[in-house]
A and B are shown apart, each in its own frame.
Chain A
Amino acid sequence: MPERTLMGGNIAVGEGALLAGCQAYFGYPITPQNDLLEFMARRMPELGRVFLQTESELAAINMVYGAAAVGFRTMTSTSSPGFSLQQEGISYMAGAEMPAVIVNIMRAGPGLGNIGGAQGDYMQCTRGGGHGDYYLITLTPSTVQEMMDLTMLAFELADKYRNPVLVIADGFLGQAMEPVTIREKVKKLPEKKWAITGAKGRPKNLINSFEMNPLDHPRRIKLLLEKFERMRVHEVRYEGLNLDDADIVLVAYGSAARSAITAMNIARKNKLRVGLVRPITVFPFPYQPLADLAERGCKFVVAEMSGGQMIEDVRIAVGNQNEIKLVNSYGGVPLEADPIFETIDLLM
């Protein structure tokens, strides 16, 4: 029987990273992800792996870049203001095609904001975030179990595509505890022939994000763009609930999706035909399933803990014909089930 235990969301990310074979962690403390950093500080050295508390988030992301370049499974975790600081490094890593996992346990912004959980980094996460043409597969757990599972998946996808992968969760989910089934350890890590490992008996490998020759750079970008297109084709993930007869479709991720499930259940008890699309990847976004529901004439309620960011992706998916309502919270305040249900009620 696999072990089942009560675990915090941040800790589940850490456990998932250990199970996935993360060999080096670099990070700088920031609420609400500190318990993840603390967990890694304790566990990584116990396992003979690298843990380093850096002098800043900038140092952390650049050390992740270095560790990825030598072929390590590596990660950093932070929260929104720290994530902003890391954008330059992430852009360099995307340019150099470096696999790594970056965890953003989001708090309220802009600026120093507030330590309360939020989903205000949606645009930053789904549109690259730093300079240049790049995207990151962005995974959005909505349970503590998924904090573990999607962290493990993130390492797989990072290596599969040679690209940084994001796991994003609001601070509430990071600090919440739920029952978790411990997954099996990844036994064999992929071979990385491109890594810089000393070039003994082989031609040298070069890792950078720079092309001196202006004719070479478009070629490199074209390859990146083709890679992002493959992600769009193969990596869309979402959960659909009660969609078969739905007139109204809720769209939500993270802990907002949890509140949306409760609102949906209340609606169903009131004989309202309400379903839920819960994106598990927000890049690539599940445009097609939403477009299909729009075609059927559904109305949409987007529930998110931001000023209204994911709603723009829902509008792209749905087009201009169908009604879309936003129900949200912001500034570090939870989005509860009641306002979501009230918004459903308004649409009926």
Chain B
Amino acid sequence: MNWEITVSGFGGQGVLFIGRLLADAGFNAGLDITWLPYYSGEKRGGMCSCFVNISDERIGSIFITHPDVGVAMNPAAMKMLEPTVKTGGLLVVNTSLVKTKSARHDIKVVYVPTVEAAKELGDETVGNIIALGAVIANAQVTTTTSIIKVLNQMLSKDKKQLELNKAALLKGCEYS
């Protein structure tokens, strides 16, 4: 197996964090992993991408040109990812910010209003986890159980955040 995943959006949207959750889940499964943050000088508000490779073989390139899974959290990310996702791949689009539709018919596109969905849980900051739920529900990268295990490790000291993130993950899984 070999998964190439690119998550892209504004710094502050949790782009690197959901990449990290995927990487940790793959690592826990004993797979080879690369996780690469890619951003410019500014942090919040600047463009930010995260490249994650998950493979049962030695991984070559740490950069990803044609992802199996793309997550477009803002319009610039949509512009970058929509043409590059591999045929047969998955594109998750954050419709809270991206108002355009994909013209591609050779990939699966899932539209997720991450901010509105997160607000229903009472906290709009978990929009990224909603998007991650949509990834897991529509591509066999990893399982909700594996991601919840990672969340349990990472957020063990903050029960409230942990429950919120778990709820967001499950809510994201409803989109297909």
A interface, CB within 8 angstroms of B: 6, 31, 115-116, 172-173, 175-179, 255, 258-265, 334-338
Contacts and interface: CB of A to CB of B under 8 A. Distances in A.
A337 B65 contact: yes
Contact of B60 (A116, A177, A259, A338): A259
A31 B32 CA distance: 27
Contacts of B68: none
Nearest to B64: A336
B46 to A, nearest CB: 11
A115 B40 contact: yes
Contacts of A265: 60
Interface string B3-37: 00000000000000000100110010000111111
B65 A336 contact: yes
Interface of B: 20, 23-24, 27, 32-38, 40-41, 58-63, 65
A334 B65 CA distance: 10
Given A6-B35, A115-B41, A178-B34, A338 B65 contact: yes
B23 A177 contact: yes
Nearest to A265: B60
Contacts of B27: 6, 179
Query: Max chain A CB contacts within 10 Å: which of B27, B32, B63?
Result: B63
24 contacts: A6-B24, A6-B35, A31-B41, A115-B41, A116-B40, A172-B36, A172-B38, A172-B63, A176-B36, A177-B20, A177-B34, A177-B35, A178-B35, A178-B59, A179-B32, A258-B60, A258-B63, A259-B62, A259-B63, A263-B60, A264-B60, A334-B63, A336-B63, A337-B63
Contacts of A175: 36-37
Given A172-B36, A258-B62, 16 more contacts: A6-B23, A6-B24, A115-B40, A115-B41, A116-B40, A172-B62, A173-B62, A175-B37, A177-B34, A178-B34, A258-B61, A259-B63, A260-B60, A262-B60, A336-B65, A337-B61
Classify the interface of chain A: helix, strand, loop or mixed: helix
A261 B33 contact: no
Contact of A337 (B40, B58, B60): B60
Nearest to B35: A177
Classify the interface of chain B: helix, strand, loop or mixed: mixed
Nearest to A334: B63
Contacts of B32: 178-179
A172 B27 CA distance: 20
Nearest to A266: B60
A6 B34 CA distance: 9
Contacts of B41: 31, 115
Contact of A176 (B20, B34, B40, B58): B34
A179 B33 contact: yes
Contacts of A260: 60
Contacts of A176: 34-36, 62
A261 B63 contact: no
Given A258-B60, A259-B60, A265-B60, A177 B65 contact: no
Nearest to B24: A6
Contacts of B35: 6, 176-178
Nearest 5 CB-CB pairings of A with B = A262-B60, A261-B60, A262-B61, A177-B35, A259-B61
A265 B40 CA distance: 31
B88 to A, nearest CB: 18
A67 B74 CA distance: 50
A178 B61 CA distance: 12
A335 to B, nearest CB: 8
Contacts of A258: 59-63
Contacts of B65: 336-338
B132 to A, nearest CB: 17
Contacts of B37: 175
Given A115-B40, A115-B41, A177 B33 contact: yes
A122 B32 CA distance: 29
Contacts of A116: 40
A287 to B, nearest CB: 25
Contacts of A177: 20, 23, 33-36
A14 B33 CA distance: 20
A173 B61 CA distance: 11
A340 to B, nearest CB: 9
